[in-house]
Structure 1
């Protein structure tokens, strides 16, 4: 897991597994947001699996799936809502971390 800090309160990585959750919690994150649609790639953990592991560890979990290369205004609005609802710092993930970065930046730009 390659965690990339985007801001003081937001970081991203590529796909995580349920057994990564303790390390994410130990790093101080309070919430996890998944931007990866289920079944995007064979064998990837589902959002439900990550959500259960997150909740079992005491972390807040949200699933805001974004299709690669097809981010919509609705996706950005859902991300802004999720960021407003969950405690930080927040950890976002997708396949590589790029979508999680892009949607965060778009959601933050909309605050201005």
Structure 2
């Protein structure tokens, strides 16, 4: 399991398993954000399975699917809301972590300097330059 820490509030990665959730809870994560749509995974990795695993380990879990190329305002607003309401570090995942990182970055537009968003994403191994013009929040 990769830990691509963007900042103290959020870490992203590719697909995890229900067994990985115990490790996340041990590391202090409080909320699991499932950005990978159920249509992309086997039943053993479906959102309901992952939500149950999170709950069994005392974590909140939110299913916020992002389809390739599908960054809707609802998705961005959903990520913004999760981060605003968090009581501890958030762990978000999709297939590779890219969609989760893009959702985080877009959710921070207008709240955090666009250059800082790009820098934090790059530090976690992600290039948000394709959406750089959207990160200023204007």
Indicate the residue corresponding to 2:92 in structure 1: 92
Indicate the residue corresponding to 1:13 in structure 2: 13
TM-score, scaled to structure 2? 0.75
Indicate the residue corresponding to 1:109 in structure 2: 109
Work out whether 1:73 is the aligned partner of 2:78.
Answer: no
Larger radius of gyration: 2
Q: Secondary structure at the match of 2:2?
A: coil
User: Larger relative contact order (C-alpha < 8 A, sep ≥ 6)?
Assistant: 1
Q: Which runs of 5+ in 2 are unaligned?
A: 113-138
Cα deviation, 1:39-80, whole Å, max 9, x if unaligned, reads 214456111100000001001111111111221122101111
How far the C-alpha of 1:20 sits from its partner, in A, is 0.3
For this pair of structures, how many residues does the alignment match? 112
The RMSD of aligned alpha carbons is 1.5
TM-score, scaled to structure 1? 0.91
Going by fraction, where is helix more abundant, 1 or 2?
Answer: 2
Are the equivalent residues in 2 in contact too, given 1:60–1:86 (CA < 8 A)? no
Q: Which runs of 5+ in 1 are unaligned?
A: none
